[in-house]
Structure 1
């Protein structure tokens, strides 16, 4: 008889995690030890009536609840955690606890980080890798082919796909058409024009801004990745970080000058102070596709008026490659230890490719069907001025491929070194040596050969 109970919603603390809290709701074995030829990995004994445990961040919680409503026959336990945001490492730390106990793994995990596959796809101390291979029979290839070209590349290791991309997060330039018109400025197209706009703003309209460097994801992914700066690269098992390369130096110097003249602020864009002080002072700001819903249409953030903001093609160096950065684009992982792989697959198909995946998305979905729906809805709403679809599409096809995906995040070093320096009024250029050293040390700790 099918279970009749509904889910319970649990909050998972970043530190005070109780291992026993989910043991009864998740897989209780690490796989049979024999590879299941149907799926390409060793599966646990299956129980189609067992509840699946799903870990999500707060932003993905509505989507998980939508699945629950759409599939009342699938018992599910929805648990929220920090989503590994900012490279906290909470996902890996919690899974390591279950690996030690040999039980309790969640069936599905959402992570904001695209580099988790590098560890989640590896066996640890004799325990089967957490992430289940997805393209060896578990999912139909036709379904996997529905993802935007390149979307699954960061999750593909030696030809095996270990995760499903939730959204794409290419960086574009968001601009306030009302303010640009009022001040008589053009939309910048290059980093040089962006800095020049900052100089004019600082002189003629002090207090108005072109963004923030107070968030670790902005400093690393938006600016340095977007500048084609080779500070976070991986070639096989060799990690390198070069802050002396021309593009790295140019971006560092640009950021320091714009912080000094006040057109880049050091408040987090998600902080109350940013919302209070700068929501109506943003003239332009480079940022990912998910700024659409998370920032500009969010009543708790900028909460812009319809027709106020538009999105333009990504910034690039004058005369250089027209490339851009990418900020996350979360990932769904299926556990190789799940005792209900059928329900797990049903959940993953729903959260990536359903109508709800499009309707509840704050940014560009990675699945083509959902992406088309989301883009059409944005265009039809008329909320953003200009050619929203064309600008996002250009950004999605312009992501610089030189950024690395080792099993640690670039955000932690920025948060530990750069953010405190900025808060003390210290230029970024003064701490790039410490920042680089932090990256190289993290790489060595994680088993990589390092090069500068």
Structure 2
């Protein structure tokens, strides 16, 4: 499933965490979104370190020329590449389609490792539906990916992206991607049902929990959320600022699932699961639409739920679904939200035409539509996002103006949830979801979650601390 939009706003606000790292995931949402992060070491085979502070690009580039560039895209992004060719007839790119690294295929890394061994064959620009490529492709790591913010892409272009949008591919202050789209979490709700039941849309997680208690008593069968998918922690744990995935360096991560913020989120989920207002079915499984699809009162989740879940999978009629700003924990100083998606464009450090590669990547990320067709997902580039949401609003599907909550959420994605080389979603599915099917509470599974994160991190060479 394609993640549908999320972010707007040229207005930026200070980040609440000083370390630069993760925010979103993106593209296809089916199983595990491999969240991104860090690298370390030298190039593949250990032959060289291509970092070069004297270079105009910040790395040792190939001899440059005006050769045609090759661009790898998935089928969903193919129209964007074709639109670029139509708009630039004198400098067309060669388009190659591949799986987009979807569903943890790891094809981007695998293919680049083969090219590294052969010493040739690299494409110039690559799109991925996940964001973990900086973990292996930085010049501090394999050396395969070009630094964007060391001279390759103008600063005024980089500043046009939503606040925090490039965190997901930034390591030690160096950004390696241009974000295609965002997927920040908001509170979706059925306005028709909320009005019918006489309920007020909550603004805090405490109010949300209290309303769930009322729903359980007054309207049994209706649900206020789901905990049946692998990205559940990216919605509830991330929003609670649970330090389960705090990437603190190229090969270091802090994990503490016993933290009070993790515990309170787990306890809330357990309570709502117990009173049957929190579904444990997968949103895209065959049973959810059949048994609970018309019973969704509220649903915290990413912006793409609007088009993909409500309009697409559940076929909820127009004029019923609305979006509200992310919920806030009362004891938190600021509102924090999570992120479920958001793809990215990467430029190869081996490109012999970096100027053309940069022009392509900046063009496709700054458009709200391609050849007259609206982009399938909400752009990470702020001006494109503004245009995108304005056009989306014209569809008449939504019961309110979604632009304000989208815009607010875009600046509230907590940067303390990192982007590591391991997949939090795969770990959650293996440990927590599996335990839930055995009747265990999420709170009781927090220690096992901790252990599995530590094991996965250490296997990949991370130093783990609490």
Q: Into which bin does the TM-score normalised by the smaller protein fall?
A: 0.7 to 0.9
1:94-243 → structure 2 map (5 Å cutoff):
94-122=111-139, 129-217=143-231, 219-236=232-249, 237-243=251-257
Moved more, 61-70 or 160-169: 61-70
- How far the C-alpha of 1:177 sits from its partner, in A, is 0.5
Q: Does 1:315 align with 2:327?
A: yes
CA 1:38–1:319: 2 relative to 1, 3 Å? closer
Deviations 1:310-331 (A, max 9, x none): 1111112123232111223222
Structure 1 contact 354–370 (Cα < 8 Å) conserved: yes
TM-score scaled to structure 2, two decimals?
A: 0.80
1:263 to 260, 266, 277: 277
2:316 to 300, 304, 307: 304
CA 1:368–1:68: 2 relative to 1, 3 Å? same
Structure 1 contact 162–333 (Cα < 8 Å) conserved: yes
Structure 1 contact 210–284 (Cα < 8 Å) conserved: yes
Deviations 1:196-215 (A, max 9, x none): 22233333333322222222
1:429 to 427, 433, 443: 443
Q: Does 1:91 align with 2:122?
A: no
Q: Does 1:67 align with 2:69?
A: no
Structure 2 contact 368–375 (Cα < 8 Å) conserved: no
Deviations 1:314-363 (A, max 9, x none): 11212323211122322211111234434422321232002426953344
Q: Which has the higher contact order (CA 8 A, sep 6+)?
A: 2
Structure 1 contact 292–363 (Cα < 8 Å) conserved: no
CA 1:400–1:268: 2 relative to 1, 3 Å? same
Q: Does 1:247 align with 2:253?
A: no
1:303-382 → structure 2 map (5 Å cutoff):
303-320=315-332, 321-356=334-369, 360-382=374-396
- Counterpart of 1:413 in 2: which secondary structure? helix
CA 1:33–1:408: 2 relative to 1, 3 Å? closer
Deviations 1:176-228 (A, max 9, x none): 001112222221222222222223333333332222222222x1211100111
Tell me, in whole angstroms, the C-alpha distance in 1 between the residues paired with 2:48 and 2:95.
21
Tell me, in whole angstroms, the C-alpha distance in 2 between the residues paired with 1:141 and 1:322.
28
- How far the C-alpha of 1:253 sits from its partner, in A, is 1.6
Tell me, in whole angstroms, the C-alpha distance in 2 between the residues paired with 1:381 and 1:262.
34
- How far the C-alpha of 1:82 sits from its partner, in A, is 5.2
| Aligned residue number for residue 418 of structure 2 | 404
| RMSD of equivalent CA atoms | 2.9
- How far the C-alpha of 1:52 sits from its partner, in A, is 0.7
Give 4+ residue runs of structure 1 displaced > 6 Å after superposition.
30-36
Q: Does 1:80 align with 2:93?
A: no
Tell me, in whole angstroms, the C-alpha distance in 2 between the residues paired with 1:70 and 1:276.
45
CA 1:94–1:200: 2 relative to 1, 3 Å? farther
- How far the C-alpha of 1:74 sits from its partner, in A, is 1.4
- Counterpart of 1:167 in 2: which secondary structure? coil
| Aligned residue number for residue 39 of structure 1 | 57
- How far the C-alpha of 1:54 sits from its partner, in A, is 0.8
| Aligned residue number for residue 3 of structure 1 | none
- State how many pairs are aligned: 416
Moved more, 31-40 or 431-440: 31-40
CA 1:53–1:399: 2 relative to 1, 3 Å? closer
TM-score scaled to structure 1, two decimals?
A: 0.82
Tell me, in whole angstroms, the C-alpha distance in 2 between the residues paired with 1:392 and 1:374.
12
Tell me, in whole angstroms, the C-alpha distance in 1 between the residues paired with 2:458 and 2:271.
33
1:440 to 451, 454, 462: 454
Tell me, in whole angstroms, the C-alpha distance in 1 between the residues paired with 2:145 and 2:326.
33
Structure 2: state its 5+ residue gaps. Answer: 1-30, 32-46
Structure 1 contact 121–131 (Cα < 8 Å) conserved: yes
CA 1:159–1:241: 2 relative to 1, 3 Å? closer
Structure 1 contact 378–384 (Cα < 8 Å) conserved: no
Structure 2 contact 325–405 (Cα < 8 Å) conserved: yes
CA 1:294–1:68: 2 relative to 1, 3 Å? farther
Structure 1 contact 38–138 (Cα < 8 Å) conserved: yes
Structure 2 contact 163–410 (Cα < 8 Å) conserved: no
